[in-house]
Amino acid sequence: MKDKSWLKYFFIILIILFIVFSGQHILDGINRNAQETYITHPYLQNILMIIFYGGIGLLLGLEHLIHEIKKEGTWIMNVPKFLLMGLPSLYFSLAVFIYYSSNQLVRNILAYPIGILLTSNQSFIWVFPLILGYSIITSFYKKIDGCK
């Protein structure tokens, strides 16, 4: 059993490293293209970052989902976890889209907290897709029928 744990976590870290290095390679290609053509793709970069970091979050919570799939019962959503962790993480994951929105209502109301954080440092944003992915995959569990 212990050997399986070692192997399982070894493969998980290999997949995470693959995601990180392939993501960095793709983003480097986009940045190189932007330097040569002077055409930037900030939305594409942000979509890819959400996919890469969100994928890592999903991968980190995959063990929970597999454990739940094996159980008998009805699927239930942990609503407080989803609402209090998932939605704020989604909001900050979409920070660049919200902040640079052409809609004045969105820019004036929704973008205000993001603007405060973006002016100081933008690197905080990339932890939120990871939290989002993890929150989504671990917000579902099986409830044994007949139990509260």
58-74: per-residue pLDDT in tens? 999 999 999 999 999 99
pLDDT at 86: 95
Q: Does residue 117 carry a pLDDT above 80?
A: no
pLDDT at 148: 57
What is the pTM (predicted TM-score) of this model?
A: 0.84
Q: What are phi and psi of 73, to 5 degrees?
A: 135, -170
pLDDT at 146: 66
Q: What percent of the chain has pLDDT over 70?
A: 96
All structural domains of the chain with their residue ranges = 2-143
Q: What angle do CA 87, 20, 135 make, to 5 degrees?
A: 20
pLDDT at 67: 93
- The pLDDT confidence band at residue 105, using thresholds 50, 70 and 90, is confident
